[in-house]
Copies of this chain bind each other. A is one copy, B any other.
């Protein structure tokens, strides 16, 4: 435990160092040997500390190339422990409920704050999703990316980091929600995009709300016919 505690403290020092020296995502860190000398600890401790930072997505190790500041900015994989949840049906309902609360105002903020180049990227993702839908292929990854890009358009970084956690949670861990709603998905995503691109925040909010409520009700009714939402 003593050794682990030292590694944890070293990890905290490394975070401090990354911030003080204003390292950016993708920047290369000093070698293990240099870090050990700088922080006055052994190389094994540095290695263990770097592993801890790796598991928190603060640094990335590229074999043979060295240690770099992670592009994921310290956002942990599965940060809310969805993978640990046993009742996937309940997890799905909970995630859909959160999406209905969180994403309509996010669409409104996106319509208000998006930069032109962010809208170009959003339209690109929409186009890719539409292509996959026309070809009746799995579009879930593009779908998730579309919602993440809307969150990025808010310019609220916490939302940009949080929304992918929720949408990827639905995609990876939840019971299957969409599958075959090709036509409805096409129409509703295009409506959300247009309201955002044309700077109509209130309609963007409504379009997102309609889309997510539609998904939520369809999931709930598919699971419990005639029962409705708990």
- Cross-chain contact B83 with A79 (CB below 8 angstroms): no
Please indicate which of the listed interface residues A63, A76, A86 has the most CB atoms of chain B within 10 Å of its own CB. Answer: A76
What's the Cα separation between A76 and B80 when bound, in Å? 7
A4 within 8 A of B: yes
- Per assembly, the copies of the chain total 2
- Cross-chain contact B159 with A84 (CB below 8 angstroms): no
A15 within 8 A of B: yes
Size range of the chain A interface in the assembly? 35 or more
Identify 27 residue pairs between A and B in the complex whose beta-carbon atoms are under 8 Å apart, listed by A's number: A1-B63, A4-B54, A4-B61, A15-B83, A18-B84, A19-B86, A51-B51, A55-B55, A55-B56, A56-B78, A57-B81, A74-B80, A74-B83, A75-B80, A75-B81, A76-B81, A79-B79, A80-B165, A81-B161, A91-B157, A91-B158, A94-B157, A97-B156, A97-B159, A98-B158, A101-B106, A162-B162
Closest A-B pairs by Cβ, 7 of them? A74-B81, A79-B79, A74-B84, A76-B76, A94-B158, A55-B55, A94-B156
